[in-house]
Amino acid sequence: MDKILRINMGGLKGPEVAIDTLGDYAGLGGRAMTSTIVAGEVPPLCHPLGKNNKLVIAPGMLSGSAAVMSGRISVGCKSPLTGGIKEANSGGQGAQVLARLGYAAIILEGKPLDDTLYKIIINQNGVTITPANELKMLGNYDLVSIINKEYGAKVACISIGPAGEMKMSAATVAFTDMEQRPTRHAGRGGVGAVMGAKGVKIIIMDDAGLKMRAPADLEKFRIANKLFSEGLKKHSVTGEGLPTFGTNVLTGVINEAGAFPTNNFSTGRFEGAAKISGEALAELENSRGGEGSATHGCHKGCIIRCSGTFTDKEGNFLTKQPEYETVWAHGANCGIDDLDTIAMLDRMDDDFGLDTIEMGATIGVAMEAGLAEFGDSKAAINLVKEVGKGTPLGRILGNGAAVTGQVFGVERVPVVKKQSMPAYDPRAVQGIAVTYATSPMGADHTAGYAVTANILGVGGNVDPLKPEGQVELSRNLQIATAAIDSTGMCLFIAFAILDQPETFQALVDLIGSFSGQKFTADDLTALGKSVLEKEIDFNIRAGFTAKDDRLPEFFSDEPLAPHDVVFKVSDEELDQVFNW
């Protein structure tokens, strides 16, 4: 990855392509690349949908290599949802293919002079950009089907659905999986709206004839990769729980812990949890699609294989296995305990190009407002259909829970920096609450997954119901996460590296042997801190202050059953998270 592809979508004669050397961005990847470029090149006060914002797509430092689990990709910009810096992360084939094509980043900048929609084709011969107005308002599934017929079934696609074209703040950027399905999404923060504002419908990437990226020290790399793989396979979470039941294995665990937000964060346990659990989902998938349907990798090189394939009652493919966050958002949070409904909502979100977390939280707020009853599956489906059609109501919902709550006068709106909270109630998991409040990204569980020590006993134990130790826990995890997001590694490796020092060392050795430069654990920490510092600085320049690092007040005022606990970490403590 020795070059950066810059595309100015606002050229006088149409899009203009430039191939840059890495320059000051040498050695960066993933989130480190996207956040460094956005922090350095995007005016913090610019309009997120204007010409001065940039959309940056970057594979990780190890992407395109033989390193297992290295197929994650980062998408960065100024967020139309939060107004701050954004990095949204995705699986799929995008990272591996883009890295093998030699690009450390794609930067979409400027803004088209008219409403022409474009497709971008990238292969070993160069870059071609052509008008593609015939693709306007297509869902991601029909779009990819058309592209496959024209370019073959081995290309990787990066696309937006109608939500992105309509510039909705819940819009995602979709990445195709190994089966050429647009099931992997950079979901959070409205990155799809920025891609839509740039006038780009789809980026088609073909790495035919190109080899994997080679490490600088092949022998050390092979040893480290082997040890790293073994560590992942022997850990109970990455080697057993996730491959067998997928990410939804957490439903039973979090519900039992009383931290499963139900009916728009009104209680911490859902009576129908067993019906939508990972165990129930895996059994259903295996019975409908055949044994093994509940285990699937989202990109080449994945050995955890925490995804799956969901078929309908007639045996037809419907969607990828709904992830834990999706099952919660469209399930318990809306009072719905039917897996077929949840899977249909997941399919619609992927097709329209919508963040399942944001949409589930938004529907929960809409139900609280009286637009539908909690538990009404048909109403939930119809509300998402409104978004896909772009009706006035759909445009309100498609801009997220904060907007929906404001329009309909709802007080209980679970957002930070206008981004919806994921599937852990912050009153019952106070470490994740600190992450929600303080992450530069807005409410985001992946930014510092304190559920590890709060609930799962991974990497230590910190009482989830008490404020003590939560700031330090969140701080350390946010640093580690920023670094992992930069490598291209799947965040689920954290379970093993937190519990197994030898697996952590293998990761460090993987990075060092691949780059050919000395790399230590301290270097990994320094990388994470540097990424966070750039993100925090951008947000400060964008007008964010300490008041934006707070949870909505109802979390401090309304005790959550069954533990009858409120959020207890003080404002003074929250302000110390990034004080290193």
Domain of residue 397, CATH code: 1.10.569.10
The CA distance from 288 to 494, in Å, is: 32
Query: Each residue of 226-276: pLDDT tens digit?
Result: 999 999 999 999 999 899 888 999 999 999 999 999 999 999 999 999 999
21 to 1, 17, 26, 171, 517: CA distances (angstroms): 10, 13, 9, 31, 20
Smallest CA-to-CA distance from 100 within 65, 67, 72 is with: 65
Cα–Cα distance, 186 to 182 (Å, whole number): 11
Asked if residue 521 and residue 415 are part of one domain, the reply reads no
Region 450-473 average pLDDT: 97
Q: Looking at the domain assignment, is residue 231 inside a domain?
A: yes
Sign of the torsion formed by the C-alpha atoms of 69, 71, 77 and 80: negative
Asked if residue 381 has pLDDT above 90, the reply is yes
Q: Inform me whether the pLDDT recorded for 1 exceeds 80.
A: no
Whether the predicted pLDDT of 15 surpasses 90: yes
Q: Are 66 and 159 found together in one domain?
A: yes
Task: Report percent pLDDT > 90 for the chain.
Answer: 95
**Contact present, 418 and 402 (Cβ < 8 Å):** yes
What does the pLDDT look like over 484-525, one tens digit per residue?
Answer: 999 999 989 999 999 999 999 999 999 999 999 999 999 999
Residue 234 to residue 240: CA distance in whole angstroms: 8
Residue type at 122 in one-letter notation: I
Please say whether the dihedral angle defined by the alpha carbons of residues 299, 301, 306 and 310, taken in this order, is positive or negative. Answer: positive
Q: pLDDT: is 290 or 330 the higher one?
A: 330
- What is residue 298's predicted lDDT score, i.e. its pLDDT? 83
The mean pLDDT of 311-335, rounded to a whole number, is 96
> Residue 448: which of 478, 421, 476, 483 has the closest Cα?
478
**The pLDDT of residue 25:** 97
241 and 255 belong to one structural domain? no
pLDDT of the residue at 235 = 94
Report d(CA 512, CA 518) in Å as an integer. Answer: 6
Q: Is residue 310 part of a domain?
A: yes
Backbone angle region of 469, left / alpha / beta, with phi > 0 → left and psi within -120 to 50 → alpha? left
427 and 566 Cβ atoms separated by less than 8 Å = yes
Long-range CB contact pairs, 525-528, < 8 A, 24+: 525/479, 525/480, 525/483, 527/32, 527/482, 527/483, 527/486, 528/478, 528/479, 528/480, 528/481, 528/482, 528/483, 528/486
Kindly state whether residues 411 and 277 are assigned to the same domain. yes
Q: Report the candidate in 158, 147, 141 with the shortest Cα–Cα distance to residue 201.
A: 158
Strand ranges inside 199-285, DSSP E: 200-205
Report residue 225's pLDDT band, with 50, 70 and 90 as the boundaries.
very high
110-158 residue pLDDT tens: 999 999 999 999 999 999 999 999 999 999 999 999 999 999 999 999 9
Asked whether residue 138 is domain-assigned, the answer is yes
Mean pLDDT over residues 40-61, rounded?
98
- Mean residue pLDDT of the chain comes to 96
Residues 394 and 433 placed together within one structural domain of the fold: no
Question: Rounded to whole angstroms, how far apart are CA atoms 489 and 495?
Answer: 13
- In this prediction, residue 293 carries a pLDDT of 87
Across 544-550, average pLDDT: 98
Do residues 392 and 447 share a domain?
Answer: no
Are 568 and 438 contained in the same domain? yes
pLDDT of 292: 82
Decide if 127 contacts 17 (C-beta within 8 A).
yes
How many Å apart are CA 7 and CA 361, to the nearest integer?
35
> Would you place residue 61 in the very low, low, confident or very high pLDDT band (cuts 50, 70, 90)?
very high
Q: Which residues contact 472 (CB under 8 A, 6 or more apart)?
A: none
- SS3 (DSSP) at 85: strand
Cα 270 to Cα 195: distance, rounded to the nearest angstrom: 37
Is 200 part of a structural domain of the chain?
Answer: yes
Amino acid at 539: N
What pLDDT does 27 receive?
94
* Residue 194: CATH number of its domain: 3.60.9.10
3 state DSSP class of 548? helix
Distance CA 416, CA 267 (A): 19
Please count the structural domains in the chain.
3
* Pair 305, 239: CB distance under 8 Å: no
Whether the predicted pLDDT of 6 surpasses 80: yes
For the cut 90, the answer to whether the pLDDT of residue 301 exceeds it is no
Contact between 146 and 138 (Cβ < 8 Å): yes
Residue 212 domain flag: no
Q: What is the pLDDT of residue 74?
A: 98
Q: Of 375, 397, 424, at which residue does a domain stop?
A: 424
Burial of 113 (0-12, 13-18, 19+ CB in 10 A): middle
398 and 435 share a domain? no
Go through 31-52 and write b for each residue having 16 or more CB atoms within 10 A of its CB, e for each that does not.
bbbbbbbbbeebebeeebbebe
Q: What is the pLDDT of residue 503?
A: 96
Please report whether residue 210 resides in a domain.
no
Task: Work out the percent of the chain whose per-residue pLDDT is above 70.
Answer: 100
- Under 8 Å between Cβ of 77 and 186: no
Find the CATH number of the domain harbouring 465.
Answer: 1.10.599.10
The answer to whether residue 184 is domain-embedded is yes
Q: Using the 3D structure, point to which of 365, 399, 424 is the last residue of a domain.
A: 424
Residue 211 in domain: no
> 450 and 522: one domain?
yes
Same structural domain for residues 221 and 136? no
Residue 338, pLDDT > 80, answer yes
Bond preceding residue 464 cis, omega within 30 of 0: no
Say if residue 378 is in the same domain as residue 497: no
φ/ψ (deg, to 5) at 251: -55, -50
Give the dihedral of Cα atoms 365, 566, 461, 276; nearest 10 deg.
Answer: -30
**What is the per-residue pLDDT for 254?**
97
pLDDT reading at 569 higher than 80:
yes
Full domain range(s) for residue 387: 248-424
Same-domain status, 475 and 379: no
CB contact at 8 A, 22 and 2: yes
Which of 424, 442, 471 is the C-terminal boundary of a domain?
424
Please, are residues 171 and 210 in contact by the beta-carbon 8 Å criterion? no
Would you put residue 109 in left (φ > 0), alpha (ψ -120 to 50) or beta?
beta
